[in-house]
A and B are shown apart, each in its own frame.
Chain A
């Protein structure tokens, strides 16, 4: 395929995964404004590097991993700007960002519940339970050990189960 046509097809495919990419970004950033910025940056990078996409596997896995890396970079920058100095790589997964009520204005209560989960749980649940990635694939995308995938996934499921009860109690 000619490079221009290849690029055009890649961009069309990229548009097709946008809603899911944005959803994944929301699980990382836990607010819509940051998610939209992150999606835009990820798309820009994906387009400029589309020649690196080998066409095998799921396009979203490739873009998700890129998105996750960008977000980790962003968190690190914010930490540094905030005066916390440099961040050790081993601390990356433990970093937290503000998900205040002011920022997290969403029309849907279900979304609020998802975004209120402890960091890292929603992403794993989305990848494995909702989108059908294997544990290995989820671990590769998020750059975490499979054991962490397992523990976060079970924690996310138990959290959701607890939310059902909370919702039922509120309605009662």
Chain B
């Protein structure tokens, strides 16, 4: 527990929010908030700041981590030394005056109630989020979300099991509009488990699901159309614990999905691209 007595009000209330003050100090601050408008306002601003900041930081996790780095880590020591770059340190910028802005913020918060409205608008389901604060959701975002859920299914991993393999090709080809051959990936250590039909960015997507000896789930997904990348180029991305390698070929987009900890995903994608 921290003793915050003597610190600025916002620092004390901030520590109170985190449960980092003693019971006695917590009661003191609760009493202060109950009888002091300024304290109550600061507390509300701190809470609003928390919510906004959480949302902002969540967005960072959507950035892809360079798969080359992942592979180097997984394959052992000897990561290539970074290319040394020299950047001159900038002169320290003049410190922005904070309290006048915070006070202005408080007034606007009181009058407009914008903070709460904004947060609700950002997180609720009652309307489209503001375009300026969101990035367009791609089919790969949807695939990653699906994979994260399905790969944890133990009994119902697939919609159509591998035993009905003969039905899978015509079913998915007709549903998605992409002719394909079911890749045999035994040499890659993967067993075909079955298939699903998904929807990503409003389009039907075929998903072929495989599992390795360690129980890790891998998927091949494809859809008709042109979601963006030039044909033939393999693009790599990481979404938390999931790695994806995507490419386009003959009017269809493909992606191989697997655990980010797998070092051979690129090889697998190359095998799939030539056999599917």
A residues neighboring B (CB under 8 Å): 7, 11-12, 14-16, 18-20, 22-23, 26, 32-34, 36-37, 39-41, 43-44, 47-48, 75, 78-79, 81-82, 84, 94-98, 100, 107-111, 113-114, 118, 125-126, 128-130, 134-135, 146-147, 150-151, 153-169, 171-172
Contact = CB atoms under 8 A, between A and B. Distances in A.
8 contacts: A19-B238, A43-B69, A110-B56, A118-B95, A130-B57, A157-B53, A168-B114, A172-B112
Contacts of A118: 95-96
Interface string B115-153: 101110000000000101101000000000000000000
Given A47-B73, A150-B15, A160 B118 contact: no
A160 B10 CA distance: 13
Contacts of A165: 104-105, 108-109, 114-115
B201 interface: no
A98 B102 contact: no
B65 to A, nearest CB: 5
Contacts of B239: 19
Contacts of B11: 150-151, 153-154
B8 interface: yes
Contacts, number: 218
A165 B8 CA distance: 22
Nearest to B44: A161
Contact of B76 (A7, A41, A81): A7
B20 interface: yes
B29 interface: no
Nearest to A125: B53
Nearest to A152: B11
B90 A158 contact: no
B82 A161 contact: no
Contacts of B96: 118
B132 A109 contact: yes
A98 B241 contact: no
A128 B18 contact: yes
Contact of A161 (B55, B63, B105, B135): B105
Given A96-B92, A154-B11, A165-B114, A171 B130 contact: yes
Interface residues of B, number: 75
Contacts of A128: 18
B169 to A, nearest CB: 34
Contacts of A111: 56, 59-60
B82 A12 contact: no
Which of A19, A97, A165, A167 has most B Cβ within 10 Å? Answer: A165
B133 A15 contact: no
Contacts of B240: 19
B145 to A, nearest CB: 15
Contacts of B95: 118
A15 B14 contact: no
Given A95-B89, A155-B98, A18 B14 contact: no
Contact of B79 (A15, A47, A169): A47
Contacts of A114: 53, 56-57, 60
Given A134-B20, A165-B105, 17 more contacts: A7-B76, A11-B76, A18-B70, A19-B61, A19-B239, A20-B61, A82-B88, A82-B89, A97-B87, A110-B56, A118-B95, A135-B20, A150-B20, A161-B48, A161-B105, A162-B104, A169-B108
